[in-house]
Structure 1
Amino acid sequence: MQKTSSLFVAVCLGASFGAFALTHATAQTDRYAAVSEDPHLDVIPRTDVEAARIAAVVAPPQDFTKPQQFEELSGGAATVRVKPDADAFSQPSGNIGFEQELEFKVGNGLFRKIWVSSPSSTLASDGLGPLYNARSCQRCHIKDGRGHPPEEGAENAVSMFLRVSIPDEAAGIADIQDYLGTAPDPTYGTQLQDFALPGLPAEYRFQVDYVERPVTLADGTVVTLRDPTYTAADLGYGPLHPEAMLSPRVAPQMIGLGLLEAIPAADILALADPDDADGDGISGRPNIVWSGEFDRPMLGRFGLKAGMATVMEQSAGAFAGDIGISNPLFPDPFGECSTIQDACRNAPHGDGDERGFEIDQAGLDLVVFYSRNLGVPARRDVGDPQVLRGKQVFHDTGCASCHQPSFVTHRLNDQPEQSFQLIWPHTDMLLHDMGPGLADNRPEAVANGTEWRTPPLWGIGLTQQVSGHTMFLHDGRARSLLEAILWHGGEAQAARDRVVDMPKPDRDALLTYLESL
């Protein structure tokens, strides 16, 4: 896979199609020049004075005896008050206008809408499937929070599915615009669906089995980790390709997506250190993806491996892959049905009425507006001594090397809710090698089989309140924040080992800090 990944990087960075080479001597700014722009945003360029102010504001803290200025406002002016119930992630941006709040509520209705099969008298809601994982966006992103991973022995997944693909060499991928690091499985496409319309078999039954493994911390505390094995059982359309690669995915929380989308690509790329030039053991690098929306390579931001460039593409892809709903970016009326699945491709669908697609551009725009404007709840207890101590431990341990605390978003002409906000997402939006323990061994665009995008930590302390569980990581294997830390490997191995070795009061303070986010 490394050969093909290098080819894709070279093409994306402006190399001619006849010369696929990217030398290590290329300057960082030149290396990612082609993806340093933000064509999805209407940007007002920063002045030199603004750039200097921003650099000072996002610099690492030096004083841990008190909170940083505006630290409690995780989403800047878009921050919302913390609701005491499961709706804490379902509020509109705190700085949204009245008319925009109405748009947000209509988008929420579409996000929650239950789709039905065709033909149906409810023409605005038909087109489900024929294969699907859920009947609405809300069914996966429950209460706009994390999905619900299945327990061992469950009959099917809840808010979770398996991606599937084969090495691109096996499929003979040649068109750079179709390059995804892997190619679809010839029968099952890029995602396995565990539901189907009547008369059609589902593609599989999701199965997970765990082996428990104890980890002993330096103070004698024993933490038990769950080592999962995932199986695509009861395949409905014959065997998978012999080289098929499976990757489990739990639906992530939805808050702050518009703010993450508004971070300047150049600011994210400035944090990249793919060759570990500073020698700190951290070599984050961007995922570079082909954007069908803009017909060009772009910085990947969304998805667990940063495989999508914009909220629009992420939303449109989910409609097609998860619900089987056609849209302007993914126009196939039969969703993920492959050419081998004839009955699936020929099943009734909801295209052809005045919508054109099963969800048209107007509907998709509303869902995207809703997704961009799910407000980030305010921090709690930012001045508490235990939280401040945990914050220092977080930085001293090296967690902030990947979980970059803050950014300032672009100044924007047409998105006032996201414009020029100091935000605290605690992510660098880059890919990092997380070691063999967390590897799915499945590439995605530039990301290899051991790399994952650093997930934002804002709102993580409200997971139990919103989602009713504390299951973390890309597949929900970790049942607590401490378990999630202990699964870190690769570039994060040194930081993880410091947590194992630290005194219990420091570890408790670190967890208290994380729970305040």
Structure 2
Amino acid sequence: MKRHLLLTSFMLSALGCGGSSQSPEAKPSEPQPPVVTLPGQPNDGLAPLSSSTPDTNEHLAGGAVTTDVQNEDAFSQSAPAIRSDFALDAVFKSGDHLFRGTHKGLGPVFNNPTCQGCHIKDGRGEVPSSPQRAMTSMFLRISDENGQPDAVYGDQLQTFGTVAGHPTGALPKFNGALDEGLAYGEAYAFVEYENVTGKFADGEEYELRKPIYKVTDLSYGPFNDTVRFSARVSPAIFGSGLLHAIPEQYITSYADPDDVDNDGISGRAVYVTEPISEQTKLARFGYKLGTASVLQQIAGAYRGDMGVTNRINQAEPCTENQVACNEQAALEQNSEANGLDLSDLDLAQVEFYNRLLAVPVRRGFDVQTSTWQEDVKHGRALFFDANCNGCHVPRHKTGEAPASLLGDVDILGFTGESTPIAALSEQVIYPYSDLLLHDMGGECAPIKLENAQGGSCQVGENCIYVQLCEGLADNRPEGEASGTEWRTTPLWGLGLVQQVNARATYLHDGRARTISEAILWHGGEAEKAKQAYLAMSKTERSQLLAFLNSL
């Protein structure tokens, strides 16, 4: 763990002989150097973590918000504290129902008709099995070279559109919206892979798959001349209420933007404007830290992924240059206030559901003997030795979990109160993330136009936009994040990802088929940790993976 160090210096004073006419003129005091506080253990009242001995209750990843369920429903359980409270349990189940269902006002363009369709069983989405299958739980964010939304397509590509005769959504069609005036999906994105091989220090070979993103069938005309893409697989959502409840100062204690401790890690805190309160708050959610709260995150997803407008995101996902999209939006029959697709009550119940999802218990721990499996324990020590914990900070403590900005709800409506969520408050949790931005290295070639055979292409239906990057970079600025920066993904539940969804993969774009592959894609600030993994023996690698699979 990083430590707090205080750099100080002595003041130098000019000394003279009292009463002597020959004494030199007193020199002014030298200015003190600035006090520099290095990142480290927050002032949360907890003893520093040991690299060799796990905490007594470390197996309870979510503290009291931990579930024993470890099957395909492991990510869909409610916090134990609300199960015996009829009113709270009813709100949770109502939010669950809304999360799984469709809503009035879907579209005019969208990626998936339900929340659950993206966050499969409340876990990760998946990469389509072939380029011929449309993305339904992943998508591409887009912008120009400065991170500004595309003038025609906005900041996200929606694959499906609302067109009569297409009950599940109309796929993109080259210039279809322009020529026919119909709200086809915006563009068709797919991924192909190039194999990359390498060796561990002991000679064992590995193979990675490097993604090549391609976009075709643009329904509303060409992209801007400096277009950028960033692929995103929908992340798991359990435990988000606990992350929301960590006090800001505990998170920022790990920030080290100038790397003053010279360990190669320089996590940055990001601040955004929280809707409704309009206050500047610490960002905690999104692959590039774009939102400050669970409410802000889900409200954005409703609008961006489903085209469902709400109190926080009231505009349809159509730019002013998408005539067909706006004309279709005008046909929507909305019964909510101000013509919105989603009521405040529904939004509040879905927020409650998201925040109260429990975290799975760790594997590899014997409750009867209070002992860990030896390979898990050794793997944990290797995790610390490689300084993986420099970004994937194991432990946090929640404070008072803030009330919803929409107010408290029951099954029928708002109660008129706004109270903190006791079940999420004052919990010692083990998410394995510092919730900060880190530079993960890599770079991208400029996006180019090619034909299906890989030859040069200038314009027309046969042209395909192609993005090829090295490492984890996407070359797309977003908010305060650069094209190489990403939020540290929480690792809790990592070992159950493919138990919940056998087709799920890892990293922000799903390129890694295994946890080992995910490690080998690390670069930038994580390069030293990756090199430590490459240098491990086969036994040590097995131990490290046993530990990661126990999370």
TM bin, normalised by shorter chain, reads 0.7 to 0.9
More helix by share: 1
Residue 11 of structure 1 is matched in structure 2 by: none
Q: Closer, same or farther in 2 for the Cα pair 1:398/1:353, shift >3 Å?
A: closer
- Report if aligned partners of 1:463, 1:469 keep a CA contact under 8 Å in 2: no
Asked whether 1:455 is paired with 2:441, we answer: no
Q: Distance in 2 between matches of 1:278 and 1:247?
A: 32
CA distance in 2, matches of 1:70, 1:155: 44
Deviation at 1:166, TM superposition (A): 1.6
Between the aligned residues of both structures, percent identity stands at 44
* Match of residue 299 from structure 1: 282
Q: Give the match for residue 159 of structure 1.
A: 137
Q: The residue matched to 2:81 in structure 1 has which SS? A: coil
**1:124-167 alpha-carbon deviations (Å, 9 max, x no partner):** xx201000000000010010000011234233113000001124
The amino acid that maps onto 1:91 is Q
Does 1:147 find its partner at 2:133?
no
Measure the CA separation in 2 of the matches of 1:275 and 1:145.
34
Contact 2:76-2:358 at 8 Å conserved across structures = yes
**CA pair 329-353 structure 1, distance change in 2 beyond 3 A:** closer
Q: Which residue of 1 aligns with 2:424?
A: 418
Q: CA deviation at 1:470?
A: 4.8
Structure 1 counterpart of 2:533:
499
Q: Give the stretch that moved more between structures: 465-474 or 240-249.
A: 465-474
Partner in structure 2 of residue 56 of structure 1: 46
Deviation at 1:294, TM superposition (A): 2.5
Query: Is contact 1:440-1:450 (8 Å) kept?
Result: yes
Which secondary structure does the structure 2 equivalent of 1:215 belong to?
A: strand
In 1, Cα distance between the equivalents of 2:336 and 2:483?
A: 42
Letter in 2 for 1:211: E
1:455 Cα deviation after fit: 0.2
State the Cα distance separating 1:296 from its structure 2 match: 3.0
Q: Residue 355 of structure 1: CA displacement?
A: 7.8
Stretches of structure 1 lacking an aligned partner (at least 5 in a row): 1-24, 30-50, 116-125, 169-181
Give the structure 2 partner of residue 105 of structure 1: 93
Structure 1 CA distance for aligned equivalents of residues 339 and 34 of structure 2: 46
Match of 1:3 in 2: none
Quote the residue 1:477 is aligned against.
511
**Which secondary structure state, in structure 2, belongs to the residue aligned with residue 76 of structure 1?**
coil
How far is the alpha carbon of 1:55 from its aligned partner?
A: 3.9
Measure, in 2, the Cα distance between the counterparts of 1:132 and 1:508: 42
TM-score (norm 2): 0.78
Distance 1:406 1:102, change over 3 A: same
Counterpart residue number, 1:95: 81
Partner of 1:407: 396
Amino acid at match of 1:79: T
Matches within 5 A, 1:228-307: 228-307=211-290
SS in 1 for 2:194: strand
Q: Displacement, 1:212?
A: 0.3
Partner of 2:416: none
Counterpart of 2:204?
221
Asked if the contact 1:215/1:222 (under 8 Å) is kept, the reply is: yes
Aligned pairs for 1:119-138 (under 5 A) are: 126-138=104-116
After superposition, give the CA deviation of every residue in 1:30-49 in whole Å (9 maximum; x if it has no partner). xxxxxxxxxxxxxxxxxxxx
Match of 1:81 in 2: 68
Answer yes or no: is the 8 Å Cα contact 1:289–1:446 preserved in 2: no
CA distance in 2, matches of 1:350, 1:143: 30
TM superposition outliers: structure 1 runs of 4+ over 4 Å? 25-29, 352-356
Matched with 1:467 is 501
Report the TM-score, using the length of structure 1 for normalisation.
0.83
Q: Which residue of 1 aligns with 2:382?
A: 393
The match for 1:192 is 157
Give the conservation status (yes or no) of the 8 Å contact 1:259–1:409: yes
Q: Which runs of 5+ in 2 are unaligned?
A: 1-32, 164-181, 366-371, 402-418, 443-470
Partner of 1:380: 363
Conserved? CA contact 1:127–1:358, under 8 Å: yes
Letter in 2 for 1:507: R
Question: Which residue of structure 2 aligns with residue 430 of structure 1?
Answer: 436
**Distance across 2 between alignment mates of 1:285 and 1:188:** 30
Deviations 1:150-185 (A, max 9, x none): 2342331130000011244xxxxxxxxxxxxx2210
State the shift of 1:273 in Å: 0.2
Whether the 8 Å CA contact 2:299–2:313 is kept in 1: the answer is yes
Give the superposition deviation at 1:300: 1.0
Q: Distance in 2 between matches of 1:98 and 1:433?
A: 46
2:239–2:359 contact (8 Å) kept in structure 1:
yes
Structure 2 vs 1, CA of residues 459 and 62 (structure 1 numbering), >3 Å: closer, same or farther?
A: closer
Q: Which structure would you say has the larger Rg?
A: 2
Aligned residues of 1:288 and 1:445 also touching (Cα < 8 A): no
Q: Distance in 2 between matches of 1:200 and 1:470?
A: 31
How many angstroms apart in 1 are the aligned matches of 2:472 and 2:276? 31
**Map of 1:324 onto structure 2:** 307
Instruction: Confirm or deny: 8 A CA contact 2:336 2:342 kept in the other structure.
Output: no
How many equivalent pairs are there? 444
Q: Does 1:210 align with 2:193?
A: yes
Give the structure 2 partner of residue 351 of structure 1.
334
The CA deviation at 1:28 is 7.8
Asked if the contact 1:273/1:285 (under 8 Å) is kept, the reply is yes
> Which letter does structure 2 place at the counterpart of 1:101?
D
CA distance in 1, matches of 2:333, 2:92: 25
**Cα distance in 1 between the residues matched to 2:52 and 2:70:** 30
Query: Could you tell me how far apart the structure 2 residues matched to 1:253 and 1:516 are?
Result: 17
Amino acid in structure 2 at the alignment position of 1:345: N
